[in-house]
């Protein structure tokens, strides 16, 4: 039996999404920028997808920029806002537990003369709001904080962050990649200037995403070429994947409540199973301010590399953190930010579930962890 429990890394593409994409590949292959009838046919699907994405993120269609994924969206937003307002100030703020698609951008900006403050987080993975207040300056032009952490599932207090930033000069960018399908993402209800998502985290294809940008938020757009996306993102739109993403987003939003009930039930079953089997563990992060699809566990009896190898040999597929850092020998920067140089950063693993995950599968994982525990306990 194979058990996939790495949904935070990527999700299987929904059958309905594949059907929509196949239809585009077969019958609607035109370039949306072409003015002939085949191009206009393609444009119709592009515009419809834009309206669908806007509807399910509570945004306006003109706020939607289609991209190649969250990495491009994050890069475009952070660099774009930092460059555009550099004459007003070059102080930027983010947290120590952001995804590397955010952190590496800020590190690069530091080399270009910007000053960056990296906020601490609590042991539950919550940003230090007092430190945010203290860090804000007259020359602070940008704050970037993720909505849901990709390694521990912690939900950040975005409303509190908004309140702190109100009436200040700083703009706010939010990486909402892990939020879609797990909590409402209401762009126009939030005082956010830019927001990033990617399709493959909620049943869509890889290689396509969205950057939402408020009307009065100026960015310097660096990708030059044609006039696609109202001159904001040059390059022929990947129509089939955009249509697939729109369908995946609709399904994720429409089924969110049912999906969350399923995930919370799986998480409870998983933790209870471990307790009943007397497997020692501690949950990394918050048990309250969290989503249902991520469970990050400290397992004190084994190092993470050995555990991942044994689980893989048992056909159970999980990860120690972000798939984007696979192969790295460094401990998780997220856990390091939460716990410092603690032993648990070398003995923690992320389990992440999806709508296709079954109760039998989470019980199978618990049973295998019990076998591994007794093997290493005896050693």
- SS3 for the chain, per residue? CCEECECCCCCCCCHHHHHHHHHHHHHCCCCCCCCCHHHHHHHHHHHHHHHHHHHHCCCCHHHEEEECCHHHHHHHHHHHHHHHCCCCCCEEEEECCCCHHHHHHHHHHHHCCCEEEEECECCCCCECHHHHHHHCCCCEEEEECCCECCCCCEECCHHHHHHHHCCCCCEEEEECCCCCCCCCCCHHHCCCCEEEEEHHHCCCCCCCEEEEECCCCCCCCCCCCCCHHHHCCCCCCCHHHHHHHHHHHHHHHHCHHHHHHHHHHHHHHHHHHHHHCCCCCEECCCCCCECCCEEEEECCCCCHHHHHHHHHHCCEECECCCHHHCCCCCCCHHHHHHHCCCHHHHCEEEEECCCCCCHHHHHHHHHHHHHHHHHHHHC
CB 180 within 8 A of CB 130: no
Q: Say whether 302 is catalytic.
A: no
Catalytic residue among 13, 183, 310, 324: 324
Q: Which residues are catalytic?
A: 324
């Amino acid at each position: 039996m194979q058990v996939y429990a790495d949904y935070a890394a990527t999700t299987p593409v929904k059958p309905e999404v594949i059907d929509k994409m196949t239809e585009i590949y077969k019958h609607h292959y035109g370039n949306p920028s072409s003015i002939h009838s085949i191009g206009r046919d393609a444009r119709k699907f592009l515009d419809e997808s834009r309206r669908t994405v806007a509807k399910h993120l509570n945004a306006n269609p003109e706020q939607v920029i289609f991209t190649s994924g969250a990495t491009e969206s994050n890069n475009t937003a952070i660099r774009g806002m930092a460059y555009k307002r550099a004459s007003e100030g070059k102080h930027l703020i983010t947290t120590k537990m952001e995804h590397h698609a955010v952190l590496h951008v800020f590190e690069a900006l530091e080399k270009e003369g910007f000053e960056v403050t990296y906020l601490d987080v609590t042991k539950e993975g919550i940003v230090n709001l007092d430190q945010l207040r203290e860090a804000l300056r007259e020359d602070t032009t940008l704050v970037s904080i993720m909505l849901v952490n990709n390694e521990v599932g912690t939900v950040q207090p975005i409303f509190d962050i908004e309140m702190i930033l109100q009436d200040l000069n700083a703009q706010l960018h939010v990486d909402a990649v892990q939020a879609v399908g797990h909590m409402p993402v209401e762009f126009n209800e939030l005082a956010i200037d830019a927001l990033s998502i990617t399709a493959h985290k909620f049943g869509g294809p890889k290689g396509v995403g969205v950057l939402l940008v408020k009307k009065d938020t100026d960015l310097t757009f660096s990708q030059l070429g044609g006039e696609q996306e109202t001159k904001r993102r040059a390059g022929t739109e990947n129509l089939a994947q955009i249509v697939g993403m729109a369908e995946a987003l609709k399904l994720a939003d429409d089924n969110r409540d049912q999906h969350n009930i399923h995930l919370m039930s799986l998480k409870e079953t998983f933790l209870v199973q471990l307790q009943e089997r007397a497997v020692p563990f501690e949950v990394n992060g918050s048990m309250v301010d969290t989503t249902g699809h991520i469970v990050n566990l400290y397992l004190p009896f084994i190092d993470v590399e050995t555990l991942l190898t044994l689980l893989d040999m048992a056909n159970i597929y999980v990860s120690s953190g972000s798939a984007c850092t696979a192969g790295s020998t460094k401990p998780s920067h997220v856990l390091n930010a939460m716990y410092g140089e603690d032993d648990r950063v070398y003995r923690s693993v992320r389990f992440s579930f999806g709508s296709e995950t079954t109760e039998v599968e989470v019980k199978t994982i618990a049973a295998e962890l019990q076998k591994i525990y007794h093997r290493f306990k005896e050693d």
